[in-house]
Structure 1
C-alpha cells in the first residue's frame, strides 16, 4: 500500500514541478519588464485552460509556499503588460501584450488558489485568507471581462464560486456565525458578503456578454434575494449594469427584453434609502429614465406610452430633476410621439426648455437638438421657441457683456440659422409668412446690437439656406434678405452671386430696370467678371441695348484667355435673340483678333450654328449663305490638327459634331443650292468622318459608313448633273465626270462592304442607289470615252437584282454602242450590251413600261445580234416581239399600248429578208424557221393582212424555186 502511494506521488511530482518551473521562468522574464516569448506564453495558456485547474491538492502539498510566492510575484510583475505602450522591435515576433497580461494574471490566480486550497485544510479558521483569494479572483474576473476575455473570465469566476457557500431556499445569512464571534470576525463577515455581491454582479455581466440572458436572469434573482444588496454603492453598481444591459438590448432591437431590464434598473434604484441617495444615483436615475422613455415612445402601443408618462412623472417628482433640461426634453419626445399632436403642449414644453436652459455648451446643444426635432412635428412651435431663445436669452446675454463674447455670438448665429432652416422647410408656415418672420428676426438683432454682423461662416450658412428657399412667387423677397446688413461680412464671391441672382430674377420677370439697377450696384470688380458681363450682355439683348451689349462683349472677350466659355455663351444668346447681327459681328472680330487661349474651332462652330440658323430665315439667298457655311466647315477641317490635341472624348465629340451637321446640311440642301456647293459640303463631311476615331465606338462605325455611302451617292449625283449642264468637250465638264468617278468608286466599295448587313426596305433602298450609281458610271465612261472600263461596268449592271429603272440604262447603252468604234467593240462587249438590252426589254415589259421604248430597244438588240450573226438570239427576239404584239392586241389592253406598226413591219421584213439570205446559202432549215417567224410577226401588223399575204406569196415562190433547184 505504501509503495502504491509512493508511485502516485512520483507520477504527480513532474507535473507540479513543470508548472512551478514555468511560473518561475515567467517571473524571471517579467521581473525585467520583458515580453513573454511565444512558446512560454503558449505553455502558460495551456496550463490555465487545461492542466492547472485539474491538479489535485495532494500533489502540490509540498510546494504550497512556492506556489503562493510565485503567484504573488506573477500578479505584480504582469502589471506592465496590461499598460504596455512602448515601441517594440517589429522584427521580434511576440504575443499581444495585453492579452498575455490577462492570461498571466489568471495563471497567478490559479497558483494562489491552488496554494490556498492546500493551506486551508490546515487552517480552516482564517477568513482573511479566503477574503484575500476572493478579492484576487474578483479582480481577475473584472480584468477579463473588461478585456472581453470571456473564457478566461469564466475560469476566474469558477475560482470565485469555490468560496461561495451553498444557500438554502430560505433567505438565510451567507455564513452562520456563533454567538461568541469577535468584532474582527463580524467585519470579515461583512467584507465577505460584499465580495459575494460583487461576484454575482460579475456573473450577471459575464452572462450578458456571453449572450446567455437566461443565466443573467438567474443571477439577477440571486442578487435580488440578498438583503445586503440595498446599500447605496451596491445599488448604483447593480442599476448601472442593468442599465447597460437594457441599452444594449434596445440597440439590437430586442425591445421587449430591454423593457424588462429597464424596469429592473428602476426597481433597483427605487430600493435605495432616501438618506443615502447621492448625485451619482440621481444622474443614473435620469439616464435610465430618459433611455427607458425613448424606448417606450418608439413603441406605438398605448400601454407603452402610458408607462412612459409614469416614468416621466417619477423623474419630475424626484428632488432636483424637475428643472433638468433632459427631463423636459423627454416630455417633448413623449408629446411628439402621440397620435394627435398637441402643439400647445409642445410649445409649453419647448418654452420651458428655453427658460430653464443654463447657457453652457452642452445644455445649448441639447436645447437646439430638441428644437430641431420639434421643427419636424410642430414647426410653428419650434419657430416660436427659437425666437424666444434668441430674444429673451441670447440677445440680452450678448448685449449685457461689456466685451464681445464669441461663444454667445456663436450660439446666436446657430439659433438664427436654425430658425431660417425651420422657416424654409416645407412643413413650416407659408413662405410669405416665413419671409416676414425672418426679416423681423434679423431686423431685431440688428436694432438691439447695431454693431453686430454675423461671422463669415454663419453668413455663408444663412445665405445658403435663404438661397435655397428663393423659389416660387416670393423669390424676390427671399433674395432681398440676402442683402440684409447683418450679412455684411459676406465674402466677395457671395456678394457677386447675390447680385447675379437678383439680375436673373429680374430678367426672368422682364423687369429690365431692376436688373440694370442690380448690375450697376455691384462693385466695379464684380461687374467686370465674365459671368456678370455675360448676364449684362443677355440683358442688353433683351432690352435692345446695343451699347451695353458691345461693351459687355468686349469685356468677355478680353477675359476669355483661360476660359472662353462665356464668350461662346454670348454668341449662343445672340443667336437666340433678334440681334443676331451682334453675334455675327462679334464672332468675326474675335476670329480676326484670335485672342490668346481662344479656340478657333469652337468659334467656328458657334459661327456655323449662327449661319445655319440664317438658312431657315425666309427670303435668304441660300446659295450665298450656303457658301459662308461651307467656308466655315472647310476652315474647321483645316484646323483638324488642332482638334487632335484635345482629349480623346473631346476629339471624338468635335469631329462628330462637324460631320453630322455637314451631313445634315448636305442632305437638306442638295436640291436647293448649286451642285458645286453640294459637292464641297459633302466632301467636307466625308473628310471629317474619315478622321472620326473608331476606338471604343464599334456601334458608331456602321452609322458613319452608311453616311459616307450616302455622301458619295449625293456627290456623284451632283457632279453628273454638273457634267450634263456643260458642253460635251468642255474641260470643266470632263473634270466633273472624273471627279464623279472617285465618288463612284467610294460608293461601290462601301456598298460591297455593307450590303450583307442590310435587310428589308433599307437593303432595297441601297440597292436602288447602287443601280443608279452604276448608270452614272456608264455615263462617265461614255463622256470620258474610257472604253476599257466598259465591260466591267456592264457586267456590274447585269449582276444587279433591281427590276426598275432599266429604261434609262437601255438608253445609255444604245448611246454607248453608237459611240463605239470598230476597234473598241469586241465580242464580249457586244454580248454584254445585248444582254443588258434583253434584260431591259424583259423588265420593262413586265413592268408595263412605254411599249414604244420597248419596241425600239428590241429593234436595236435585234439589229445588233443579226449583224453579228447571232441567229438564235435574233430569232428569239423576233418571237418575243410577236408575243408582245399579240398580248398588246388583247381586249384588256388599251389602244395606246399597241405595238407600233412601223416597228412590226421593220422586224417582219428584216426577218423575212434574213430567211431569203439563208436560202441563198442553202440553209433551208434555218430559212424555213425565219420565214415562219416573220409570218407570225406580220400577222399583228395593222394593214388588214397585206404584209402577211405578201410574205406568204413570196414564201411560196421561194419554196417552188428551191424545189426546182433540187430537181
Structure 2
C-alpha cells in the first residue's frame, strides 16, 4: 500500500460556535473527574485522621464511629472505578489504598492494646471483647482500601494483562479483606471482596496457560503457580463459609465441588496454615450442623475437615492443628453416634480407635468412650463405665469444668448402677478430694453420696454404715460443713426419717434422727437442729418414753424450745403426767404464737378431753376465741365452735357483770365474726341460702345476742351494747332473708333491738368529742330509726301484739323520731325534717297511749322544735325552712290543746308562744300578730277553764294563773314597745297594729287578777298619750 504524503493544513475559516455535543461530553468528563477527586480527597482525609490518635478520640464516641462507617459505605459503592476515569490517578489510588490498609491494621492493634490496658485498670472491662461498631469500621476501611488498590492496579492496556504479579497481589488482598468481613459478619462487603477476587483469579487462570493448537505455553513461574493454587483454595474456602453464613448450604456444596475441580490436587496446593484454616471452616460448618441435629450433612463436612488435615504432613502442621484434629474427630464420633445406624456405629468405633492411637490418654478419648458405652448393651456395661470414669478421676486435673463433667458422667453411671455410683463417689473422695482440702467440692460430693444412699432402693445402706461414713468424712475435713451443704444433707436424710416414721418404725426413725443431728451438720442453725430434735421427741412420745422426750427437749436450743410445735409436744407430755401448771404455761405460749393456724390449739383441746382435763379444754377453747380468724379447720363445724365459745364467754361474763372489757370485746368480736362468715357463705351460695349457718343456727345467734344485750344493757359501755345489738339485727335480717318470712317474735325482737341500738348510738354520739365519729353515730341513729319506722308500719298488724305492747312500741317510735330530729340537727340535714314531723303528727291519739305520758312526749318534741328553729337561724338556713318549724310547733300546740292540759303543759305553750313571737318577728310579722292573737284567745279560754275547774284544783295550783302572767306581761310590753318604735319611725299603720295587739293582750290578762288589770290600765294610759293629727296620723 503506498504511503500517504504529508497533508498541509488549510487556513481556518470562520465557523459557527461548536454544537451542543461538545459541552455534553465535557460535562460527563468533569463529572467523572469530580467523582475521582471526591474519592481521593476522602481517602486522603481518612488517612490523615487515621494517622492521628484515632483510638483515643473515638473509643468513647460511638456516634462518630457510626458517621465514619456511613461515609465509607457511600464511597465504597462506586468502587472500583473504570480504567478510563482513573487512568491518570492510578498511582495515587494505589498509594492511598496501601497506606489505608496498613493504617487499618495498626488501628486494630492499637484498639486491642487499649482494651487490654483498660481491662488491667478496670476489672469491669473485658479486654478480650471488641466494640462491634469499631470492628465494622476497620472492616469497611479494609474493603475501601482494597477497592482503592484495585482501582490503582487495574490494567489499562493489553500488555498489562500478562503481568500476573499485580493480579496475585489483588487476589491476596481481596482474600484478606473477605476473611475480615466474614469475621465481622459483614456479608455484603465480603461478597464484594470475593467477587473481585474471583475476577482476578479468572484472569490469572487465563494467563496461566494460553492454548494454541495442541500445545500450551507456560506464562506463570512455579512459585506464582503455587501461590495461585493456594489463593484459589482459600478463595473457595471463603466462598463456602460465606454461603454457609448466608444459610445457602447448596451454594456451599457447589463451591466445594469447584474447589475440587480448581486444581489437580487441592490439598497439595494448600500450605499447612491454609489447610488448617480451611479445615477449621469445615469443622465450624459441621459442628453447627451437628448442633442443629442435621447429622448426615454434619458427618460430610466433618469428614472433609478430617481429610483436609490428614492431607498435610503432620510435622508441618502447627501445634493447634493437633487440637483441631482432635476436636474434628471428637465431633465426628458424636455425629456418628447420633446417627444411630449400624454403619455409623462402626465408623464411630474406627474413628474412636484412631483417637485412641493418637490421643489414648487424653480426656476427649475417655469421654467418647463413655458415650460409646452408653449406646451399648450388656451386663458389664456399668462395670466398664465405672472403670473409665475411675480412670478419669485418677488422671485428670480437677479444674472446675472437669469437676462438673465428672459430676455429669456420674449421673449417667447412677442410671446404670446406683451401687457403683456410690462407690465412685467414695473413690473420688478418697483418691482426690480429701488430699486437696477443697471443702466446697467435698461437701458437694458428700451431699450427692447422701442422696444416692437415701433415694436408691438398690443401695439400702444401714444406719450403722451411714453413720460410719459420716465419721470418716469428719476425720478428713477440718470442721463441720457449711450451712448450705449441711442443710441439703439433712433434707435428704429427712426423707428417710419421714419414710420410717410413716411406716411406724419409730426406733429406726430415732437412729436416723441421730444421724441427721451429726456434728458434721452442726452449722445448719438452731431451726434445723430443733426440727430434727422435735422429730426425735415425737418418736420418744410414740414409744411412751416421756422422760427421754423431756431430755430431748432440754437438749434443744432455746429458740426451738419456744417454738409452737415444741410447746405442743411439751403440753402433751404435761397432760400425760398430770402437770397442769406446765400445761397451762404451754397453752399460753401456743396461743401467743398462733396467728392464723389454730390447729394446735384444737389439738390441745382434743388432748385435754382425751385425758379428762376439762379445765384445760375450756382454757384452750378460750384461747381459740381470742385468736379466731374466720376460718374453720377441717372436721370442725364453725357454728358449733362459735356457739361453744359464746356460751363459755357468756357464762364467765354473766357470773360477774363487772367483768373487764376484754371479755366483752371477745364476745362482740365473736358475734361479728360469726355474721361475717354468714355473709360470706350467703354470697357464695346465693341470697336464699345461709351456707353452713342454717335457719336454726341463725335463730340461735339472733336470740343469744339479743338476750346478752338486754341482760347487759345497764351494766356495760354503750359501745359494746351497740355492737351486740348491731349483730343481733344483722342475724335477724339474715334469718328473714334465708326464710323469706318474719316470725312474730322475730319482728318484735327486731323492733326492740333497733330501738336499743339507736339509743346506744345516740349516747355515743352525745358523748363523743371527735366530730366525725359523733356524726357517724348520728347516722347510725337515723338509720336504725328509719328501719324501726318501716318495720313498725309493716309488721304491727300481722304480729298480733297486745294493746300494752302497742302502747310501748308507739312510745319507742316517738322517742326515735326525736332522736332522728336531733341527728338531722347535728348532721345539718334539713331535707328530711318534713317526713319526720309528718310521722310524729300521725301517731295515735292519747286515748291509746295515756294522757300524762302523751303530754310529756309532745312537750319535749315542742322544745326540740324550738331548738331546731334556733339552730337553723344560726346556721343561716333559708326562711322557708325556718317558717316550717314555727308551723310544726303550732301543730304541736294544737295537739296539746285537743286534750285537757295540765298547768305544766300550759306553761310550755305560753313559753312556746313567746319564742314563736320572737322568731316570727324576723320572718313574718303577720305570723307574729297571729301569735299574739292566739295568746289572747288562750288566756281568755284558760281563764274560763280555771273558773270551771277551780273547785277541783288543790294546793298551789289554785293560786297560779292559768296563763303565766310573766309570759303575758312580756308579750304585752314587747308588742307595745314595737308600737312605740313604729310611731317613732313614722309607720302609723304598724304603730296602730302593735298598739291594738298590746291592748288586746292586756285586756285578756285583766281577767286573771289585779296584776292584769293594772297592766291593762297602764297600757291604756300610755296608748292615750299617742294621738292622730289627721285621719291616719297619731301624735303625742
TM-score, with normalisation over the residues of structure 2?
A: 0.57
Aligned residue number for residue 552 of structure 2: 518
Q: Is the 8 A contact 1:679 1:719 kept in 2?
A: no
SS at match of 2:481: coil
In 2, Cα distance between equivalents of 1:18 and 1:576: 100
Aligned residue number for residue 324 of structure 2: 284
Q: Is the 8 A contact 1:531 1:566 kept in 2?
A: no
Task: Note the C-alpha offset of 1:306.
Answer: 4.0
In 1, Cα distance between equivalents of 2:299 and 2:758: 93
Aligned residue number for residue 462 of structure 1: 489
Aligned residue number for residue 537 of structure 2: 503
Q: Is the 8 A contact 1:157 1:203 kept in 2?
A: yes
Confirm or deny that 1:445 pairs with 2:445. Answer: no
Q: Is the 8 A contact 1:372 1:418 kept in 2?
A: no
In 2, Cα distance between equivalents of 1:704 and 1:15: 100
Render the CA deviation track for 1:412-439: whole Å, top value 9, x for unaligned: 33222222233334xx334733766644
Confirm or deny that 1:482 pairs with 2:516. Answer: yes
Render the CA deviation track for 1:144-166: whole Å, top value 9, x for unaligned: 11111111111111122233247
Confirm or deny that 1:58 pairs with 2:84. Answer: yes
Given candidates 375, 389, 394, the residue that maps to 1:350 is 389
Task: Note the C-alpha offset of 1:513.
Answer: 5.4
In 2, Cα distance between equivalents of 1:706 and 1:290: 80
SS at match of 2:88: helix
Q: In the superposition, relative to structure 1, how do residues 621 and 505 fare at CA in structure 2: closer, same or farther (>3 Å)?
A: closer
In 1, Cα distance between equivalents of 2:541 and 2:44: 91
Render the CA deviation track for 1:834-862: whole Å, top value 9, x for unaligned: xxxxxxxxxxxxxxxxxxxxxxxxxxxxx
Aligned residue number for residue 267 of structure 2: 227
Q: Is the 8 A contact 2:83 2:156 kept in 1?
A: no
Which range is displaced more, 633-642 or 226-235?
633-642
Q: Is the 8 A contact 1:716 1:740 kept in 2?
A: no
Q: In the superposition, relative to structure 1, how do residues 15 and 424 fare at CA in structure 2: closer, same or farther (>3 Å)?
A: same
Given candidates 260, 274, 295, the residue that maps to 1:255 is 295
In 2, Cα distance between equivalents of 1:67 and 1:637: 104
In 1, Cα distance between equivalents of 2:269 and 2:709: 100
In 1, Cα distance between equivalents of 2:69 and 2:647: 97
Confirm or deny that 1:415 pairs with 2:467. Answer: no
Render the CA deviation track for 1:15-51: whole Å, top value 9, x for unaligned: 22232233233334444426658776544313323x2
In 1, Cα distance between equivalents of 2:452 and 2:246: 46
Given candidates 27, 34, 44, the residue that maps to 2:72 is 44
In 2, Cα distance between equivalents of 1:667 and 1:633: 33
Task: Note the C-alpha offset of 1:496.
Answer: 2.7
SS at match of 2:799: helix
SS at match of 2:200: coil
Q: Is the 8 A contact 1:135 1:195 kept in 2?
A: yes
Aligned residue number for residue 779 of structure 1: 801
In 1, Cα distance between equivalents of 2:724 and 2:298: 74
SS at match of 1:52: coil
Given candidates 372, 386, 396, the residue that maps to 1:334 is 372
Aligned residue number for residue 282 of structure 2: 242
What does residue range 552-571 of structure 1 map to in structure 2 within 5 Å?
A: 552-553=586-587, 560=592, 565=595, 571=601
Task: Note the C-alpha offset of 1:636.
Answer: 8.0
Task: Note the C-alpha offset of 1:361.
Answer: 3.9
In 1, Cα distance between equivalents of 2:199 and 2:627: 91
Q: Is the 8 A contact 2:69 2:136 kept in 1?
A: no
Aligned residue number for residue 159 of structure 1: 196
Given candidates 579, 582, 596, the residue that maps to 2:616 is 582
Aligned residue number for residue 116 of structure 1: 153
Task: Note the C-alpha offset of 1:370.
Answer: 0.9
Aligned residue number for residue 16 of structure 1: 36
Q: Is the 8 A contact 1:459 1:487 kept in 2?
A: yes
Task: Note the C-alpha offset of 1:208.
Answer: 1.0
Task: Note the C-alpha offset of 1:332.
Answer: 1.9
Q: In the superposition, relative to structure 1, how do residues 516 and 62 fare at CA in structure 2: closer, same or farther (>3 Å)?
A: same
Task: Note the C-alpha offset of 1:453.
Answer: 3.8
Render the CA deviation track for 1:217-242: whole Å, top value 9, x for unaligned: 12333445513256543333233222
Confirm or deny that 1:73 pairs with 2:73. Answer: no
In 2, Cα distance between equivalents of 1:311 and 1:118: 51
Aligned residue number for residue 311 of structure 1: 351
Q: Is the 8 A contact 2:267 2:311 kept in 1?
A: no
Q: Is the 8 A contact 2:649 2:667 kept in 1?
A: no
RMSD: 5.8
Render the CA deviation track for 1:918-954: whole Å, top value 9, x for unaligned: xxxxxxxxxxxxxxxxxxxxxxxxxxxxxxxxxxxxx
In 2, Cα distance between equivalents of 1:636 and 1:605: 18
Task: Note the C-alpha offset of 1:108.
Answer: 1.3
Q: Is the 8 A contact 2:100 2:142 kept in 1?
A: yes
Q: Is the 8 A contact 2:101 2:142 kept in 1?
A: yes
Q: In the superposition, relative to structure 1, how do residues 659 and 47 fare at CA in structure 2: closer, same or farther (>3 Å)?
A: closer
In 2, Cα distance between equivalents of 1:254 and 1:423: 40
Task: Note the C-alpha offset of 1:110.
Answer: 0.6
Aligned residue number for residue 104 of structure 1: 141
Q: In the superposition, relative to structure 1, how do residues 152 and 604 fare at CA in structure 2: closer, same or farther (>3 Å)?
A: closer
In 2, Cα distance between equivalents of 1:450 and 1:489: 14
Task: Note the C-alpha offset of 1:189.
Answer: 4.4
Render the CA deviation track for 1:439-468: whole Å, top value 9, x for unaligned: 443233345x37554344432332233334
Given candidates 525, 544, 567, the residue that maps to 1:491 is 525
Aligned residue number for residue 432 of structure 1: 460
TM-score, with normalisation over the residues of structure 1?
A: 0.60
What does residue range 670-709 of structure 1 map to in structure 2 within 5 Å?
A: 675=703, 680=708, 706=734, 709=737
In 1, Cα distance between equivalents of 2:316 and 2:442: 42
What does residue range 609-628 of structure 1 map to in structure 2 within 5 Å?
A: 627=651
Given candidates 189, 194, 208, the residue that maps to 2:230 is 194
Given candidates 499, 502, 506, the residue that maps to 1:472 is 499
In 2, Cα distance between equivalents of 1:641 and 1:671: 17
Q: Specify every segment of 5 or more residues in structure 1 that has no aligned partner in the other structure, as ranges.
A: 88-93, 399-404, 592-599, 644-650, 693-701, 724-733, 754-768, 790-819, 826-967
In 1, Cα distance between equivalents of 2:457 and 2:732: 58
Q: Is the 8 A contact 1:540 1:546 kept in 2?
A: yes
Render the CA deviation track for 1:564-598: whole Å, top value 9, x for unaligned: 5499665333223225633644787x89xxxxxxx
SS at match of 2:84: helix
Q: Is the 8 A contact 2:574 2:580 kept in 1?
A: yes
Q: In the superposition, relative to structure 1, how do residues 416 and 450 fare at CA in structure 2: closer, same or farther (>3 Å)?
A: closer
Q: In the superposition, relative to structure 1, how do residues 15 and 532 fare at CA in structure 2: closer, same or farther (>3 Å)?
A: same
Aligned residue number for residue 935 of structure 1: none
Which range is displaced more, 357-366 or 501-510?
501-510
Q: Is the 8 A contact 1:676 1:718 kept in 2?
A: no
In 1, Cα distance between equivalents of 2:740 and 2:725: 12
In 1, Cα distance between equivalents of 2:402 and 2:296: 31
Task: Note the C-alpha offset of 1:523.
Answer: 3.8
What does residue range 584-733 of structure 1 map to in structure 2 within 5 Å?
A: 584-585=618-619, 602=627, 627=651, 638=665, 656-657=676-677, 667-668=695-696, 675=703, 680=708, 706=734, 709-710=737-738, 717=745
What does residue range 791-830 of structure 1 map to in structure 2 within 5 Å?
A: none
SS at match of 1:259: helix
In 2, Cα distance between equivalents of 1:706 and 1:26: 90
Aligned residue number for residue 977 of structure 2: none
Q: Is the 8 A contact 2:104 2:138 kept in 1?
A: yes
Q: In the superposition, relative to structure 1, how do residues 711 and 614 fare at CA in structure 2: closer, same or farther (>3 Å)?
A: closer
Q: Is the 8 A contact 1:709 1:747 kept in 2?
A: no
Aligned residue number for residue 366 of structure 1: 405
Aligned residue number for residue 917 of structure 1: none
Task: Note the C-alpha offset of 1:250.
Answer: 2.5
Q: Is the 8 A contact 1:424 1:469 kept in 2?
A: yes
